[in-house]
Structure 1
Amino acid sequence: MLQDLKLKDFINELGSNSPAPGGGSIAALSASMASALASMVFNLTIGKKEYLEYDDSIKKNIDTSLEEVSLCKKDFLNFMEKDTDAFLSLMKAYKMPKKTEEEIKFRKEAIKKGNENAQNIPFEVAKSAYKLYSYIAIAVNYGNKNAISDAGVAASLTETAIEGALLNVKINIQGIKDEVYKKKMTDECSKLLKKSTDKKKEIMEIIEEKLK
Protein backbone atom coordinates (compact mmCIF):
# COMPACT_ATOMS: atom_id res chain seq x y z
CA MET A 1 0.00 0.00 0.00
CA LEU A 2 1.15 3.52 -0.78
CA GLN A 3 0.70 4.72 2.79
CA ASP A 4 3.07 2.03 4.03
CA LEU A 5 5.95 3.18 1.83
CA LYS A 6 8.81 5.17 3.28
CA LEU A 7 8.54 8.83 2.35
CA LYS A 8 11.58 8.71 0.06
CA ASP A 9 10.25 5.62 -1.73
CA PHE A 10 6.83 7.20 -2.14
CA ILE A 11 8.35 10.33 -3.69
CA ASN A 12 10.45 8.24 -6.05
CA GLU A 13 7.38 6.23 -7.08
CA LEU A 14 5.44 9.44 -7.62
CA GLY A 15 8.17 10.79 -9.86
CA SER A 16 8.58 7.61 -11.91
CA ASN A 17 7.06 6.86 -15.31
CA SER A 18 4.17 5.06 -13.62
CA PRO A 19 0.93 7.06 -14.11
CA ALA A 20 -0.22 6.19 -10.58
CA PRO A 21 -0.01 7.47 -7.93
CA GLY A 22 -0.78 10.80 -9.52
CA GLY A 23 -2.54 14.06 -8.84
CA GLY A 24 -5.69 12.49 -7.42
CA SER A 25 -3.76 10.54 -4.80
CA ILE A 26 -1.74 13.61 -3.90
CA ALA A 27 -4.94 15.61 -3.45
CA ALA A 28 -6.12 13.03 -0.91
CA LEU A 29 -2.70 13.00 0.75
CA SER A 30 -2.81 16.80 1.01
CA ALA A 31 -6.13 16.53 2.83
CA SER A 32 -4.67 13.93 5.16
CA MET A 33 -1.71 16.19 5.95
CA ALA A 34 -4.07 19.11 6.53
CA SER A 35 -5.98 16.93 9.00
CA ALA A 36 -2.75 15.95 10.73
CA LEU A 37 -1.62 19.57 11.08
CA ALA A 38 -4.97 20.58 12.53
CA SER A 39 -4.68 17.63 14.91
CA MET A 40 -1.26 18.87 15.99
CA VAL A 41 -2.62 22.34 16.76
CA PHE A 42 -5.39 20.86 18.90
CA ASN A 43 -2.96 18.57 20.71
CA LEU A 44 -0.78 21.58 21.46
CA THR A 45 -3.84 23.39 22.80
CA ILE A 46 -5.68 20.92 25.02
CA GLY A 47 -4.60 21.11 28.64
CA LYS A 48 -2.74 24.38 28.25
CA LYS A 49 -3.51 27.44 30.41
CA GLU A 50 -5.54 29.26 27.76
CA TYR A 51 -7.55 26.12 27.01
CA LEU A 52 -8.40 25.67 30.69
CA GLU A 53 -9.76 29.23 30.77
CA TYR A 54 -12.24 28.62 27.94
CA ASP A 55 -15.86 27.90 28.76
CA ASP A 56 -17.09 24.32 28.42
CA SER A 57 -18.69 24.85 24.99
CA ILE A 58 -15.40 25.98 23.44
CA LYS A 59 -13.49 23.16 25.11
CA LYS A 60 -16.03 20.71 23.70
CA ASN A 61 -15.60 22.20 20.20
CA ILE A 62 -11.84 21.80 20.44
CA ASP A 63 -12.07 18.24 21.79
CA THR A 64 -14.62 17.20 19.17
CA SER A 65 -12.57 18.80 16.40
CA LEU A 66 -9.51 16.82 17.45
CA GLU A 67 -11.51 13.60 17.30
CA GLU A 68 -12.87 14.44 13.86
CA VAL A 69 -9.59 15.45 12.22
CA SER A 70 -7.93 12.36 13.67
CA LEU A 71 -10.50 10.24 11.83
CA CYS A 72 -10.17 12.35 8.68
CA LYS A 73 -6.43 11.81 8.64
CA LYS A 74 -6.98 8.07 8.22
CA ASP A 75 -9.93 8.40 5.85
CA PHE A 76 -7.97 10.53 3.39
CA LEU A 77 -5.09 8.06 3.37
CA ASN A 78 -7.62 5.41 2.36
CA PHE A 79 -8.93 7.75 -0.35
CA MET A 80 -5.35 8.00 -1.62
CA GLU A 81 -5.28 4.23 -2.11
CA LYS A 82 -8.75 4.17 -3.65
CA ASP A 83 -7.87 6.88 -6.16
CA THR A 84 -4.82 4.98 -7.37
CA ASP A 85 -6.76 1.71 -7.57
CA ALA A 86 -9.56 3.41 -9.54
CA PHE A 87 -7.15 4.86 -12.07
CA LEU A 88 -5.32 1.56 -12.56
CA SER A 89 -8.66 -0.25 -12.99
CA LEU A 90 -9.68 2.24 -15.68
CA MET A 91 -6.39 1.77 -17.51
CA LYS A 92 -6.87 -2.00 -17.28
CA ALA A 93 -10.37 -1.66 -18.77
CA TYR A 94 -9.01 0.23 -21.78
CA LYS A 95 -6.57 -2.64 -22.41
CA MET A 96 -9.30 -5.29 -22.44
CA PRO A 97 -9.69 -7.24 -25.71
CA LYS A 98 -12.24 -5.98 -28.22
CA LYS A 99 -12.24 -8.53 -31.01
CA THR A 100 -15.72 -9.98 -30.50
CA GLU A 101 -19.05 -8.31 -29.81
CA GLU A 102 -19.09 -9.85 -26.33
CA GLU A 103 -15.58 -8.55 -25.59
CA ILE A 104 -16.53 -5.11 -26.86
CA LYS A 105 -19.58 -5.12 -24.58
CA PHE A 106 -17.59 -6.16 -21.50
CA ARG A 107 -14.88 -3.62 -22.28
CA LYS A 108 -17.40 -0.83 -22.72
CA GLU A 109 -19.08 -1.66 -19.39
CA ALA A 110 -15.72 -1.85 -17.61
CA ILE A 111 -14.65 1.53 -19.01
CA LYS A 112 -17.98 3.08 -17.97
CA LYS A 113 -17.62 1.76 -14.43
CA GLY A 114 -13.96 2.80 -14.35
CA ASN A 115 -14.82 6.35 -15.44
CA GLU A 116 -17.49 6.61 -12.77
CA ASN A 117 -15.09 5.51 -10.03
CA ALA A 118 -12.31 7.74 -11.33
CA GLN A 119 -14.52 10.81 -10.96
CA ASN A 120 -16.60 9.85 -7.93
CA ILE A 121 -13.63 9.20 -5.66
CA PRO A 122 -11.91 12.59 -6.17
CA PHE A 123 -15.29 14.33 -5.91
CA GLU A 124 -15.78 12.67 -2.51
CA VAL A 125 -12.27 13.78 -1.55
CA ALA A 126 -13.09 17.38 -2.48
CA LYS A 127 -16.40 17.40 -0.58
CA SER A 128 -14.87 15.76 2.49
CA ALA A 129 -11.85 18.07 2.41
CA TYR A 130 -14.10 21.13 2.41
CA LYS A 131 -15.43 20.06 5.81
CA LEU A 132 -11.90 20.44 7.22
CA TYR A 133 -12.20 24.22 7.02
CA SER A 134 -14.66 24.27 9.92
CA TYR A 135 -12.18 22.44 12.17
CA ILE A 136 -9.27 24.56 10.98
CA ALA A 137 -11.27 27.69 11.78
CA ILE A 138 -11.63 26.45 15.35
CA ALA A 139 -7.88 25.82 15.49
CA VAL A 140 -7.22 29.35 14.22
CA ASN A 141 -9.62 31.04 16.63
CA TYR A 142 -9.00 28.99 19.75
CA GLY A 143 -5.84 26.99 19.18
CA ASN A 144 -2.37 27.49 20.58
CA LYS A 145 -1.24 30.89 19.28
CA ASN A 146 2.27 29.60 18.69
CA ALA A 147 0.88 27.08 16.20
CA ILE A 148 -1.37 29.43 14.25
CA SER A 149 0.96 29.30 11.25
CA ASP A 150 0.52 25.51 11.20
CA ALA A 151 -3.24 26.01 11.05
CA GLY A 152 -2.63 28.30 8.08
CA VAL A 153 -0.63 25.62 6.31
CA ALA A 154 -3.49 23.21 7.01
CA ALA A 155 -5.88 25.64 5.29
CA SER A 156 -3.55 25.93 2.30
CA LEU A 157 -3.25 22.15 2.03
CA THR A 158 -7.02 21.86 2.19
CA GLU A 159 -7.41 24.27 -0.71
CA THR A 160 -4.79 22.31 -2.65
CA ALA A 161 -6.60 19.06 -1.91
CA ILE A 162 -9.93 20.42 -3.13
CA GLU A 163 -8.58 22.06 -6.26
CA GLY A 164 -6.47 19.01 -7.12
CA ALA A 165 -9.33 16.60 -6.58
CA LEU A 166 -11.71 18.67 -8.70
CA LEU A 167 -9.18 18.83 -11.52
CA ASN A 168 -9.24 15.04 -11.51
CA VAL A 169 -13.02 15.03 -11.61
CA LYS A 170 -12.99 17.35 -14.61
CA ILE A 171 -10.48 15.33 -16.59
CA ASN A 172 -12.30 12.06 -15.93
CA ILE A 173 -15.71 13.34 -16.96
CA GLN A 174 -14.26 13.89 -20.41
CA GLY A 175 -14.89 10.20 -20.97
CA ILE A 176 -18.60 10.58 -20.19
CA LYS A 177 -20.93 11.00 -23.17
CA ASP A 178 -23.89 12.32 -21.20
CA GLU A 179 -23.56 16.06 -21.78
CA VAL A 180 -26.25 16.96 -19.23
CA TYR A 181 -24.39 15.01 -16.55
CA LYS A 182 -21.06 16.56 -17.56
CA LYS A 183 -22.55 20.06 -17.30
CA LYS A 184 -24.02 19.25 -13.88
CA MET A 185 -20.70 17.93 -12.55
CA THR A 186 -18.73 20.83 -14.00
CA ASP A 187 -21.07 23.32 -12.35
CA GLU A 188 -20.85 21.52 -9.01
CA CYS A 189 -17.06 21.54 -9.23
CA SER A 190 -17.03 25.28 -9.92
CA LYS A 191 -19.34 26.00 -6.98
CA LEU A 192 -17.29 23.92 -4.57
CA LEU A 193 -14.04 25.48 -5.74
CA LYS A 194 -15.47 28.98 -5.25
CA LYS A 195 -16.65 28.08 -1.73
CA SER A 196 -13.21 26.67 -0.97
CA THR A 197 -11.41 29.77 -2.21
CA ASP A 198 -13.66 32.03 -0.14
CA LYS A 199 -13.34 29.94 3.01
CA LYS A 200 -9.57 29.70 2.77
CA LYS A 201 -9.32 33.46 2.23
CA GLU A 202 -11.50 34.07 5.28
CA ILE A 203 -9.28 31.86 7.45
CA MET A 204 -6.06 33.40 6.17
CA GLU A 205 -7.36 36.90 6.89
CA ILE A 206 -7.94 35.92 10.52
CA ILE A 207 -4.45 34.44 10.71
CA GLU A 208 -2.81 37.51 9.19
CA GLU A 209 -4.66 39.73 11.67
CA LYS A 210 -3.50 37.61 14.61
CA LEU A 211 0.10 37.70 13.36
CA LYS A 212 0.27 41.52 13.44
Structure 2
Amino acid sequence: MESFLHLSTGGFLERVAARTPAPGGGAVAAMTAASAAALVAMASRFTDWPAGPAEKLRARLEPLADADAAAYTEVLAAYRMPKDDPSRRGRINEALRLATEVPREVATTARAVAVLADDLAERGNRNLVGDVRVAALLARAAAEAADELVAINERAVRLPGT
Protein backbone atom coordinates (compact mmCIF):
# COMPACT_ATOMS: atom_id res chain seq x y z
CA MET A 1 0.00 0.00 0.00
CA GLU A 2 1.33 3.43 -0.95
CA SER A 3 1.97 5.70 2.01
CA PHE A 4 -0.61 8.43 2.44
CA LEU A 5 2.25 10.86 3.07
CA HIS A 6 3.25 10.67 -0.59
CA LEU A 7 -0.20 11.71 -1.79
CA SER A 8 -1.27 15.26 -2.40
CA THR A 9 -3.91 16.60 -0.02
CA GLY A 10 -6.44 16.11 -2.81
CA GLY A 11 -5.19 12.59 -3.41
CA PHE A 12 -5.53 11.71 0.26
CA LEU A 13 -9.05 13.12 0.35
CA GLU A 14 -9.94 11.11 -2.77
CA ARG A 15 -8.69 7.95 -1.05
CA VAL A 16 -10.76 8.75 2.04
CA ALA A 17 -13.87 9.41 -0.06
CA ALA A 18 -13.48 6.25 -2.16
CA ARG A 19 -15.67 3.20 -1.63
CA THR A 20 -12.97 1.45 0.36
CA PRO A 21 -12.81 0.80 4.08
CA ALA A 22 -9.39 2.38 4.53
CA PRO A 23 -8.21 5.02 4.96
CA GLY A 24 -10.94 5.92 7.36
CA GLY A 25 -11.47 7.77 10.59
CA GLY A 26 -8.23 6.72 12.24
CA ALA A 27 -6.09 7.84 9.33
CA VAL A 28 -7.98 11.13 9.15
CA ALA A 29 -7.50 11.67 12.89
CA ALA A 30 -3.76 11.03 12.54
CA MET A 31 -3.41 13.39 9.59
CA THR A 32 -5.48 16.05 11.36
CA ALA A 33 -3.26 15.86 14.43
CA ALA A 34 -0.15 15.94 12.21
CA SER A 35 -1.52 19.07 10.52
CA ALA A 36 -2.03 20.64 13.94
CA ALA A 37 1.56 19.80 14.87
CA ALA A 38 2.75 21.40 11.62
CA LEU A 39 0.88 24.60 12.53
CA VAL A 40 2.53 24.60 15.95
CA ALA A 41 5.95 24.09 14.36
CA MET A 42 5.37 27.00 11.97
CA ALA A 43 4.18 29.29 14.75
CA SER A 44 7.15 28.24 16.89
CA ARG A 45 9.55 29.30 14.17
CA PHE A 46 7.93 32.74 13.92
CA THR A 47 8.13 33.07 17.69
CA ASP A 48 11.78 31.99 17.85
CA TRP A 49 10.76 29.03 20.00
CA PRO A 50 12.20 25.62 19.35
CA ALA A 51 10.10 23.86 16.73
CA GLY A 52 11.66 20.52 17.61
CA PRO A 53 8.97 19.35 20.03
CA ALA A 54 6.19 19.98 17.50
CA GLU A 55 8.23 18.42 14.70
CA LYS A 56 8.82 15.29 16.82
CA LEU A 57 5.09 14.97 17.44
CA ARG A 58 4.35 15.48 13.76
CA ALA A 59 6.92 12.85 12.84
CA ARG A 60 5.22 10.42 15.23
CA LEU A 61 1.73 11.17 13.89
CA GLU A 62 2.41 11.03 10.15
CA PRO A 63 3.07 7.27 9.88
CA LEU A 64 0.10 6.51 12.12
CA ALA A 65 -2.26 7.22 9.22
CA ASP A 66 -0.74 4.31 7.29
CA ALA A 67 -0.56 2.17 10.44
CA ASP A 68 -4.24 2.70 11.15
CA ALA A 69 -5.25 1.69 7.63
CA ALA A 70 -3.07 -1.43 7.88
CA ALA A 71 -4.53 -2.37 11.26
CA TYR A 72 -8.09 -1.97 10.02
CA THR A 73 -7.28 -4.06 6.94
CA GLU A 74 -6.27 -6.87 9.32
CA VAL A 75 -9.58 -6.53 11.17
CA LEU A 76 -11.46 -6.90 7.89
CA ALA A 77 -9.38 -9.93 6.92
CA ALA A 78 -10.23 -11.59 10.23
CA TYR A 79 -13.95 -10.94 9.80
CA ARG A 80 -13.79 -12.45 6.29
CA MET A 81 -12.58 -15.79 7.64
CA PRO A 82 -15.13 -18.61 7.42
CA LYS A 83 -17.53 -18.44 10.36
CA ASP A 84 -16.90 -22.10 11.16
CA ASP A 85 -13.13 -21.62 11.44
CA PRO A 86 -12.31 -22.24 15.13
CA SER A 87 -9.53 -19.64 15.05
CA ARG A 88 -11.77 -16.89 13.65
CA ARG A 89 -12.93 -15.39 16.95
CA GLY A 90 -9.40 -15.31 18.32
CA ARG A 91 -8.03 -13.71 15.18
CA ILE A 92 -10.80 -11.08 15.20
CA ASN A 93 -10.13 -10.26 18.84
CA GLU A 94 -6.38 -10.02 18.25
CA ALA A 95 -6.87 -7.81 15.18
CA LEU A 96 -9.26 -5.56 17.10
CA ARG A 97 -6.87 -5.38 20.03
CA LEU A 98 -4.06 -4.32 17.72
CA ALA A 99 -6.41 -1.87 16.00
CA THR A 100 -6.87 -0.06 19.30
CA GLU A 101 -3.15 0.61 19.67
CA VAL A 102 -2.84 2.99 16.73
CA PRO A 103 -5.73 5.31 17.62
CA ARG A 104 -4.63 5.23 21.26
CA GLU A 105 -1.23 6.53 20.14
CA VAL A 106 -2.93 9.15 17.95
CA ALA A 107 -4.98 10.34 20.92
CA THR A 108 -1.99 10.56 23.25
CA THR A 109 0.18 12.35 20.73
CA ALA A 110 -2.60 14.70 19.64
CA ARG A 111 -3.12 15.75 23.25
CA ALA A 112 0.58 16.61 23.48
CA VAL A 113 0.18 18.78 20.36
CA ALA A 114 -2.76 20.58 21.98
CA VAL A 115 -0.66 21.32 25.08
CA LEU A 116 2.10 22.84 22.94
CA ALA A 117 -0.46 24.87 21.01
CA ASP A 118 -2.07 26.17 24.20
CA ASP A 119 1.31 27.25 25.55
CA LEU A 120 2.18 28.97 22.30
CA ALA A 121 -1.21 30.73 22.20
CA GLU A 122 -0.51 32.17 25.63
CA ARG A 123 3.14 33.11 25.28
CA GLY A 124 3.94 33.10 21.57
CA ASN A 125 3.72 35.55 18.71
CA ARG A 126 0.38 37.38 19.01
CA ASN A 127 0.11 37.56 15.22
CA LEU A 128 -0.15 33.77 15.09
CA VAL A 129 -2.64 33.18 17.90
CA GLY A 130 -5.30 32.18 15.36
CA ASP A 131 -3.04 29.50 13.89
CA VAL A 132 -2.16 28.00 17.24
CA ARG A 133 -5.76 28.09 18.46
CA VAL A 134 -6.78 26.23 15.29
CA ALA A 135 -3.97 23.76 15.99
CA ALA A 136 -5.22 23.21 19.55
CA LEU A 137 -8.81 22.68 18.36
CA LEU A 138 -7.77 20.26 15.63
CA ALA A 139 -5.50 18.34 17.96
CA ARG A 140 -8.25 17.97 20.58
CA ALA A 141 -10.76 16.89 17.93
CA ALA A 142 -8.30 14.30 16.61
CA ALA A 143 -7.71 12.99 20.13
CA GLU A 144 -11.43 12.71 20.81
CA ALA A 145 -12.01 10.97 17.49
CA ALA A 146 -9.21 8.51 18.16
CA ASP A 147 -10.57 7.82 21.66
CA GLU A 148 -13.93 6.98 20.09
CA LEU A 149 -12.28 4.49 17.72
CA VAL A 150 -10.50 2.85 20.64
CA ALA A 151 -13.81 2.49 22.50
CA ILE A 152 -15.56 1.04 19.45
CA ASN A 153 -12.83 -1.54 18.88
CA GLU A 154 -12.70 -2.47 22.55
CA ARG A 155 -16.49 -3.05 22.59
CA ALA A 156 -16.23 -5.17 19.45
CA VAL A 157 -13.67 -7.47 21.11
CA ARG A 158 -16.33 -8.45 23.64
CA LEU A 159 -19.05 -9.22 21.10
CA PRO A 160 -19.78 -12.95 20.93
CA GLY A 161 -20.70 -14.78 17.75
CA THR A 162 -18.95 -12.60 15.19
* Counterpart-to-counterpart distance in 2, 1:84 and 1:174: 19
Q: Percent identity?
A: 29
Match of 1:109 among 90, 112, 129: 90
Tell me what 1:82 maps to: 67
| Structure 1 stretches of 4+ moved >6 Å | none
In the superposition, the TM-score normalised over structure 2's length comes to 0.90
Equivalent residue, structure 2, for 1:93? 78
Residue of structure 2 equivalent to 1:157 = 138
Alignment of 1:31 onto 2:33: yes
Does residue 19 of the first structure (1) align with residue 1 of the second (2)?
no
Distance (Å, rounded) in 2 between the aligned partners of 1:140 and 1:120:
30
Q: Per residue, is there more helix in 1 or in 2? A: 1
Structure (1 or 2) with the larger CA radius of gyration: 1
Unpaired runs of at least 5, structure 2 = none
Indicate the RMSD between aligned Cα atoms, in angstroms.
1.5
What SS does the corresponding residue of 2:23 show, helix, strand or coil?
A: coil
Shift of 1:6: 1.6
1:150: Cα distance to partner? 0.1
Shift of 1:133: 2.5
* Alpha-carbon separation, structure 2, partners of 1:9 and 1:34: 19
Distance in 1 separating the partners of 2:122 and 2:83: 58
Q: Does 1:120 align with 2:101?
A: yes
Aligned length: 157
TM-score, scaled relative to structure 1:
0.70
